[in-house]
Structure 1
Amino acid sequence: MDGPPRRYRFRSDWRVAAPPDAVYRVLERHQDYPLWWPHIREVVQTGPDTGRCRFRSVLPVDLNVTVRALRRDPAARVLEIALGGDLEGRMRFHVAARGAGARVRIRQDTELRQPLLRRLARPARPLLLANHALMMRAGRRGLRAWLGVHLEVG
């Protein structure tokens, strides 16, 4: 993470004990995120490559974000999306083989647009960073659990 107080660049790496193609298939089904990622409260598809999501971690503030697919590449296992609304920027998922499982690299380059959080960006930055870390940890745990159940079933 770096940049001005309202700008955030995050790098997350998740290790998952599942085949990379299976992990990619779960990540490309954004409509299912609320089923396994507890802080993603709602996903609404608005077009073939667009949608809206609402998420909230431990802070009592919902973030409403529009999403637009920029790249879906199953062969390379890369997903890239543009973000708008309360967060503006980009997010990229890359799934690669790692031993017997997969590594998910998540890169985010965003700017806070939500009015309250923009005003609090400088003094609340450590809290916002911790909030994001909790959300990402919950996503990793949720993805692992989701894949564990769905790979066993078929």
Structure 2
Amino acid sequence: MITHTGPVRLNDYLFRDTWFIPAPGRVVFDTVVDLENYPRWWPDVRSVRKIDDDTAELVCRASLPYRLIVRMRRAEQDESRGLLKVCLEGDLEGSLAAAVTPHQAGTTLEITQQVVATKPLLRRLAPVARPLFLVNHALMMRRGHTGLRARLA
């Protein structure tokens, strides 16, 4: 299920996605924290460059003809509770939190992103293109979900 909540400001976004993955929780968690391998299973993540042990820079491009460069810095990683949180800087600023919950049939991955678009193109086009940005994000997340399921099948 994908839920998008209305903005406080035009360039603010809150995304909530819930993915079901038919794989053990530990395997899902390990794959989600392994940013360097995202391009192998998530087609919209074009490249990842490791900055240090807690920071990586991702270049993403989904369906619309623009790319986002986002630096992700680990803020929390608790394997025993299945929790992960990163701070985002760059074309999007804010945070992303993920919760991995194993259950009998597999694992649920809940992803919450609270961001502000800082890329000038996105800011300028938001008054007319915001609905397209939301669809673009939903398609990117759908491909990520499909890719993760295939990777762990």
For residue 17 of structure 1, report the CA deviation from its aligned partner.
0.5
1:11 aligns with 2:16: yes
- Alignment partner, residue 141 of structure 1: 146
Encode CA deviations 1:84-104: one digit per residue, 9 max, x unaligned: 010000001110023320000
Q: Is 2:102 the partner of 1:97?
A: yes
Q: How many residues align?
A: 148
TM-score normalised by the chain length of structure 2: 0.94
Give me the TM-score of the superposition, normalised by structure 1.
Answer: 0.94
Pair 1:84 & 2:89 matched: yes
Aligned to 1:151: none
Q: Compute the displacement of 1:67 (Å).
A: 1.1
Runs of 4 or more consecutive aligned structure 1 residues displaced over 4 Å after TM superposition: none
- Please say if residues 35 and 56 of structure 2, whose CA atoms lie closer than 8 Å, have aligned partners that are also in contact: no
Q: Which residue of the other structure, out of 70, 78, 88, is the alignment partner of 1:65?
A: 70
Q: Percent identity?
A: 41
Counterpart of 1:123 in 2: which secondary structure? Answer: helix
SS of residue matched to 2:18: strand
Aligned match of 2:30 in 25, 29, 32?
25
**Secondary structure, aligned partner of 2:10:** coil
Aligned mates of 1:138, 1:62 — CA distance in 2: 16
TM superposition shift of 1:78: 1.0
Gaps of 5+ in 2: none
Which residue among 2, 7, 22 is the counterpart of 2:6? 2
RMSD, matched Cα: 0.8
Give the structure 2 partner of residue 152 of structure 1.
none
What residue identity is the alignment partner of 1:32? N
